[in-house]
Amino acid sequence: MKTIGNIPVEPGRRTNPLARVFDEFVQFCQSRSLFMLHYCTGCGAIELPPAMTSRFDMERIGISPMVTPRQADVLLITGYVSVKTLKRVILTYEQMPSPKYVIGICSCTVNGGMYWQSYATAKVLADYIPVDLYIAGCMPRPEAVIHGMRELMKNIREGRAEAWKDYYRNYDRYLGEQQRLFGDRWQTPTDIIAEAEQYGLLTEGTRGEHTALLEQVQTPLLPEEMRL
Ligand code: SF4
């Protein structure tokens, strides 16, 4: 482990004290202003309106809803995810700019919950996209949702909410799970390998047999023509 003087520095942290102060300031700001995209996949979504409106008022702690993944920081998955919906969830996740965070609400996102025997649902959300935090329960109350959001904010402030990096570092494993569920021709109009390279997160786990298969079937990404 690197050190400053005798003080150990956690892996991934910069050793320059000024750079560390700057990083911590950025993390503090990020943690206090989160835009949340809530993907209401299951019945847990019913507890979000009270969490967001005047009774519990999520906005007072710095969390606002966002309508587009392009400007969202947090993706909230609110319950069981059908195989069909999971495709949209992955596409939504991949469109979000990094750093990005995922919260799985409800026991169904942890292990399939009461739908664990269903042929139509994905059981463990974290097999397909990295999950920062689960809020378990069937269904968790708004207090639990707010508590979970506060935990995420604390993790971001302390530089511990880094699950998004795992998607780049181990993309081949995630893609393998996705291909197992959706078939060998599964693809999204994104380039995760190029993003991993851009963020300096390209590792041996980024590429592998599953990305090789993707390269064989992938439709080339072409710029869209702008039309008014
Ligand atoms: S955990 Fe319960 S409330 Fe939540 S999605 Fe599953 S069945 Fe619905």
Which pTM was predicted? 0.88
Q: Helix (H, G, I), strand (E, B), or coil: what is residue 191?
A: coil
pLDDT digits (tens, 9 = 90+) for 198-217: 999 999 999 999 999 999 98
Rounded Cα distance, 32 and 61, in Å = 7
Contacts for 5-11: CB closer than 8 Å, 24+ residues apart: 10/159
Q: How many whole angstroms from 80 Cα to the centroid of ligand 1?
A: 6
Q: Which residue has a Cα nearest atom 8 of ligand 1?
A: 43
pLDDT digits (tens, 9 = 90+) for 33-57: 899 998 888 888 888 888 888 888 9
pLDDT digits (tens, 9 = 90+) for 125-168: 999 999 999 999 998 999 999 999 999 999 999 988 999 999 99
pLDDT at 97 over 90: yes
Nearest CA to 89 out of 174, 185, 154 is that of: 174
**Ligand 1 site: residues with CB under 6 angstroms?**
42-44, 79-80, 106-108, 113-114, 138-139
Asked if 41 and 78 touch (Cβ cutoff 8 Å), the reply is: yes
pLDDT digits (tens, 9 = 90+) for 109-119: 999 889 989 99
pLDDT at 2 over 90: no
Please name each of the domains of the chain with its CATH number: 1-31 (no CATH), 33-161 (3.40.50.12280), 162-216 (no CATH)
Q: How many whole angstroms from 105 Cα to the centroid of ligand 1?
A: 9
